[in-house]
A = this chain, B = another copy of it.
């Protein structure tokens, strides 16, 4: 993690075969690129290779555009999926919240403190109560109420706002509404949720009540990409906190808020730094 610029991040994946690390790292070295971080992984069961390189381009002999063009040939040869993100580039992250403020507040704080490499073009909520907090951060706030009898209208409005703001990524910061399949589809791999349990425990509504009733000794939270299957998408990050017999349900909720916030912000950071690669229903997270 160097401060040197200009850097760029190159993320690739493809069917496993001999020589992939060599091919990619040689390609970079031949053009004078210097590896700031370089990580790779082979998923033996899926037969799939993943690689992430952060490259310092100070001494590079070609432009990033030329690099891209050439790399595409290499990628075609190996059947690689890939993308390159210039170091200064910020993804546009729209946050959707409901009534609860903790995850949203945590993200906004970290954004303002420059911990999260992104722009936040707006926040969408089905309630009004968080407007002032959002606007104090200089971020537009859109109130889109969700009429239980006409959810499609609400989500059409949401989709419209996302489009207008050019959302690269959508974060459900305890949004508490089920996202329609079409929206899941549009933002596949870019729609991040925080579930307030240690999945797959306590899928669905009211996980803290269920945890209290079951008498577990740890509660947790799960950050995952949203798919059409509720609470079943690829897991990015999880964590837990210890509870005891003396923790009533309100106490679980209070302790849970901290885990939810930190797990979501960590997961979002990994996503924004291009550390998360998805294959099937699993993630590779290069967060060393």
Interface residues of A in 2-40 (CB under 8 A from B): 2-3, 18-23, 25-26, 28-30, 32-40
Q: Which of A75-83, A165-173, A216-224 contacts B (4 or more CB under 8 A)?
A: A216-224
Partner of A244, one of B44, B113, B288: B288
Q: Is the CB of A251 within 8 A of B1?
A: yes
A38–B239 CA distance with the chains assembled, in angstroms: 27
A3–B250 CA distance with the chains assembled, in angstroms: 10
Q: Is the CB of B284 within 8 A of A245?
A: yes
Q: Is the CB of B25 within 8 A of A282?
A: no
Chain B residues with Cβ below 8 Å from A214 are 199-200, 235, 281
Q: Is the CB of A240 within 8 A of B237?
A: no
Partner of A44, one of B2, B42, B200: B2
- Does A227 touch B at the CB level, under 8 Å? no
Partner of A25, one of B22, B32, B236, B251: B22
Q: Which of A101-109, A139-147, A149-157, A187-195 contacts B (4 or more CB under 8 A)?
A: A101-109
- Does A70 touch B at the CB level, under 8 Å? no
Range of interface residues on A (Cβ < 8 Å)? 35 or more
Q: Is the CB of A21 within 8 A of B32?
A: no
Closest chain-B Cβ to A244's Cβ sits at a distance in Å of 6
Residues A285 and B42 in contact in the complex (CB < 8 Å), given A29-B19, A200-B201: no
- Does A131 touch B at the CB level, under 8 Å? no
Partner of A42, one of B36, B42, B220, B251: B36
Q: Is the CB of B215 within 8 A of A198?
A: no
A9–B105 CA distance with the chains assembled, in angstroms: 32
Q: Is the CB of A35 within 8 A of B21?
A: yes
* Sample of 17 further A-B pairs with CB below 8 A, known A218-B239, A218-B240: A1-B251, A2-B248, A22-B28, A22-B29, A25-B26, A41-B246, A198-B198, A198-B201, A199-B201, A199-B214, A199-B216, A200-B202, A200-B214, A201-B201, A216-B238, A218-B238, A244-B285
